[in-house]
Amino acid sequence: MTSRRHRVAAFATEPQSPFELSCAIEVFGINRPGLPSPYDFRVCASSESVASAITGLSFHVEGTLDDLSNADTVIIAGWPPLDAAIPADTADAVLRAHRRGARVIGLCYGAFLLAGLGLLDGKRATTHWRATRRFAAAYPRVQLDTTALFIQSGSLATSAGTGAALDLCLEIARQDHGAAYALAISRHMVMPPRRDGGQRQYAQPVAPASPAPSLAGLLDWAHESMQKPIRLRTMPGARGAYCALLGHRDP
């Protein structure tokens, strides 16, 4: 007798951000050749069977709030608009799942729904950097980290925006089924296998005072000249590039 598969329910909001929902679908909802399918995935919504997206797209949703409350992992794939009141039936479904011990994940602005239900009080959390001031003002009892890509606190998890949502989903899959499984998924998506949640959401680029020296041409020349002895004085531009990398001037 085989055990049932882990049930994952992604909640579609109104209007829905397609990218965050797609992150959950890519990691938990697609059956790929040569990979096991450990998750029973469905997209859920409230009583409405058709949901609209922020791009004008509309789509049919088969899962219900009952599916959400009975899931092992609940994913809130965004929460636009941020100041929207949480419907009582949605709040009840998420809280019932949480009380049962389900893992509850807020992707990007989905952290606002978790915070609005009081689930993040006294816990570390993050959200998209553009909304951190608004989040901190609305939920002062949450220990907001304005820089992290994603944060896990027990059975709760939150992520920053867009790409970080995919990072968190892959991290969940890695914890559930190992690094090799998460790596295989990331290879199918042609993306880096892992970014640690403690990485900064973004880095302000600093323009260099002068172009950085490059060894590309020199390395190409060395590769073509491997059949004969190589000396520093014969390398094209080698002395200048070497001195520049060490911070010295070429005499």
Domain map (residue ranges) of the chain = 6-188, 216-246
pLDDT the model gives residue 234: 65
pLDDT in tens, 206-236: 445 544 556 666 666 676 676 777 766 666 6
> What is the CB neighbour count within 10 angstroms for residue 42?
18
pLDDT in tens, 39-54: 999 999 986 666 677 7
pLDDT the model gives residue 100: 96
State residue 199 phi and psi, 5-degree precision: -65, 155
Strands 50-52 and 58-60, by their bridges, are: antiparallel
Domain 6-188: what homologous superfamily? Class I glutamine amidotransferase (GATase) domain (3.40.50.880)
Amino acid at 137: A
pLDDT the model gives residue 1: 41
Cross-strand partners of 59: 51
Amino acid at 135: F
Q: What percent of the chain has pLDDT over 70?
A: 75
Residue 187 token pair: 């290879």
Q: Which residue has the tokens 């000249």?
A: 225
pLDDT in tens, 160-197: 988 899 999 999 999 999 999 999 999 988 887 666 55
Residue of higher predicted confidence among 112 and 50: 112
Radius of gyration of the chain (CA): 24
What is the pTM for the complete model shown? Answer: 0.76
Residue 138 token pair: 């609305």
Amino acid at 151: I
Say if residues 167 and 149 touch (Cβ distance below 8 Å): yes
**Closest to 161 (Cα-Cα) out of 130, 205, 117:** 130
- When mean pLDDT is compared across 25-34, 118-127, 156-165, 221-230, the lowest value belongs to 221-230
Rounded distance between C-alpha atoms, residue 66 and residue 97, angstroms: 10
